[in-house]
Structure 1
Amino acid sequence: MNENVLDQSQIVSAGSASTKEEAIREAGAILLEVGAVTDGYLAFMLEREAMTSTYMGNFLAIPHGTNEGKDTILRSALSFVRYAAPIDWDGNEVRFVVGIAGKEGGHMDILSKIAIIFSDEHEVQKLLDADSAATMLELLGDVNE
């Protein structure tokens, strides 16, 4: 079994969503596709978003499930979707949606690594300019350490 939380197959360089809900579904579908979550996890992602926005700043949103949904997480993993056109996320522009599933509290370490990358505007610009999923994975590689 793969121990990385993010592989190239979990990165979409040109997402198709145009609304917040569609983007959450797109990020959740990747987590489901790689076997990190059961199909029930998406409902918990949408429920979390209804409770509080997962917008983080610097064009980033990190949708994730509620505590009640932890039984639908099979392993820790990320999905990473970039959008050419900003998505309106409660009045904020989002260009990156990072879906997260953290098994047994593993999401806190992953979140901190994502936060470090996105706290640097130069790194965010590199992700905006990246020409492929492979390049984005290289820029995001620290999440797997």
Structure 2
Amino acid sequence: MIVSEEQLYLDQHLSTKEEVLAFITDKAVELGITTNPTLLEQDLWKREQEYATAVQQLIAIPHAKSAAISEAKLLFIRLVAPIDWGSEEGFEAQAIFAILVPASEASQQHLKILSSVAVNLLEESFQEQILTVKTEYELMDYLKENLEGELI
């Protein structure tokens, strides 16, 4: 299972991209996704330095293909307030899908997860739901209905 209710974090009080990437790394350690938080955070930053992962206003998809990751996972973080994501377009981020994929599965698995999330983000109803859903349980039900079956 790529995503579960324990990987959904609603209404987080994080105020910078740095705090968000550190939060993702900390949660990856807690969930047993990585035992090398330093390398994971470096790999997240490496991707951000290539091109900021804010894909549209209020939505960011930071991702890492890393030897530090033991199994592919998707984390979702919703912030209490939007933050500057440092994108060329000036996008802020409030809903963040973090894609963590082992380097050995990078090409196929990473693209499958990214594609499923990106296709859903084209729908305004999906964007509205992830920004307003009240509980992690409700969000998990919604994701089960909308993300491709193999991701859940």
1:140 corresponds to 2:126: no
Residue 18 of structure 1 corresponds to 15
Letter in 2 for 1:86: P
CA distance, structure 2, for counterparts of residue 121 and residue 132 of structure 1: 20
Aligned-residue sequence identity (percent) comes to: 26
CA distance, structure 2, for counterparts of residue 111 and residue 101 of structure 1: 10
1:5 corresponds to 2:8: no
Residue 72 of structure 2 corresponds to 76
1:111 corresponds to 2:114: yes
Distance 1:58 1:116, change over 3 A: farther
Q: List runs of 5+ in structure 2 lacking aligned partners.
A: none
Q: List runs of 5+ in structure 1 lacking aligned partners.
A: none
User: 1:63–1:98: 8 Å Cα contact kept in structure 2?
Assistant: yes
Distance 1:17 1:81, change over 3 A: same
User: 1:73–1:102: 8 Å Cα contact kept in structure 2?
Assistant: yes
SS in 1 for 2:96: strand
Shift of 1:32: 2.3
User: 1:12–1:82: 8 Å Cα contact kept in structure 2?
Assistant: yes
SS in 2 for 1:13: strand
Letter in 2 for 1:24: L
Letter in 1 for 2:43: F
User: 1:8–1:134: 8 Å Cα contact kept in structure 2?
Assistant: yes
CA distance, structure 2, for counterparts of residue 135 and residue 64 of structure 1: 24
Q: TM-score under structure 2 normalisation? A: 0.84
User: 2:85–2:92: 8 Å Cα contact kept in structure 1?
Assistant: yes
Supply the RMSD in Å over aligned alpha carbons. 1.6
Residue 32 of structure 1 corresponds to 29
1:122 corresponds to 2:125: yes
User: 1:28–1:99: 8 Å Cα contact kept in structure 2?
Assistant: no
Q: TM-score under structure 1 normalisation? A: 0.87
CA distance, structure 2, for counterparts of residue 60 and residue 72 of structure 1: 25
Residue 56 of structure 2 corresponds to 57
User: 2:95–2:130: 8 Å Cα contact kept in structure 1?
Assistant: no
